[in-house]
Amino acid sequence: MDKGKELRAALAVMGAVAGTGYASGRELVLFFAQLGRASWVGIGFAAVVFALLTTLLCRWAGTSGATGFAGACRQLLGPRTGGVAGAMHALLMALTAAMMLRGAGEIGALTLPVRNGFLWGAGIALALALLVNLARLRPLPWVGGAALATGVLFYAALAADPRPVRVYLPGDTQLALEGSLPAAALLALLYGALNAGMAASIALRFSRGGARPGRLGLLCGGALAMVLLCANAAIARGGRQLLAQALPTVVLAARWRLAGFWLSAAFTYLCAASTLAAALGGLAEQLRR
């Protein structure tokens, strides 16, 4: 048993979901913050779903001898249905990679003092992701660990800042699902399943050869819960009007003026590059097999 291998696998999994799970704040509003107090229950349930699905997938792959997500699908569902599931997962990886490239390009357009900043931002992220893949994804746990640690510290600092959050657009925000426990359970189930699917290839790849599925799932669920709790507390600090904003974390970080802008941009870019590397790695493995 290699406890270090389990930790590396968990960090790689967190790197795979950083860009889609907690980078911009919009996904947190959609799945959790709009539920008000019920969001805390939803976060706990989502972490359990994420941990359970990761555990079951790695355990099944280990028992069946499958070496990748496509192989695990064929072993579990049969050649035809498993092939369809593998193709859908490859499509998910391709769409995620495109989303991450677009997000990195938008950050480049906002921050880089060059012409065609969008293309430069997307190109640099793609180059970093390809370098990680050329190294057979070995740097991914380090990148994922950096994204996780930065996310926890960033959101915890935003939540701890007592200064008021200024939202300059007038209007009231009504929360139709506020306090709804059934909605919290449904959204948490969807969030946990989507992110488990996103990280499936990475979880299988890094769990080979000694990582215990139960411990790996526990580490993944605990890490996800930690960053989501900090992020939800930070968004709650901004009040209801913050929930209607396109980039809640940028509005929250505006209290730190120019430093807040750069911190927010760097954190989002790191998460996008990390998830892009994981998506390209999962897609390449699917195509090879």
3-state helix, strand, coil in the chain (%, to 5): 80, 0, 20
CA distances to 41, 114, 156, 180, 188 from 33, in Å: 11, 37, 16, 12, 11
pLDDT digits (tens, 9 = 90+) for 58-110: 887 766 666 666 666 676 667 777 778 778 888 889 999 999 999 999 999 99
| Token pair recorded at residue 104 | 């990195």
Say how far apart CA 111 and CA 107 lie, in whole Å: 6
Say how far apart CA 167 and CA 164 lie, in whole Å: 10
Alpha helix (H) residue ranges in 65-199: 69-77, 79-111, 117-134, 140-160, 181-198
pLDDT digits (tens, 9 = 90+) for 144-190: 999 999 999 999 999 999 988 887 665 666 677 787 899 999 999 99
Per-residue confidence (pLDDT) for residue 90, from 0 to 100: 85
Q: Are 65 and 210 in contact (CB under 8 A)?
A: no
Say how far apart CA 255 and CA 234 lie, in whole Å: 12
Best CA proximity match to 229, nearest among 151, 175, 144: 151
Say how far apart CA 263 and CA 223 lie, in whole Å: 21
| Token pair recorded at residue 133 | 């893949």
Half-sphere exposure in the Cβ direction for 92 (13 Å, CA):
23
Half-sphere exposure in the Cβ direction for 62 (13 Å, CA):
16
Per-residue confidence (pLDDT) for residue 83, from 0 to 100: 73
Percent of the chain with pLDDT over 90: 57
pTM metric for this prediction: 0.91
Rounded to an integer, the average pLDDT of 204-229 is 90
CA angle 174, 176, 178 (to 5 degrees): 95
Per-residue confidence (pLDDT) for residue 289, from 0 to 100: 65
Is residue 125 scored above 70 in pLDDT? yes
| Token pair recorded at residue 147 | 């994204």
Is residue 1 scored above 60 in pLDDT? no
Say how far apart CA 260 and CA 44 lie, in whole Å: 29
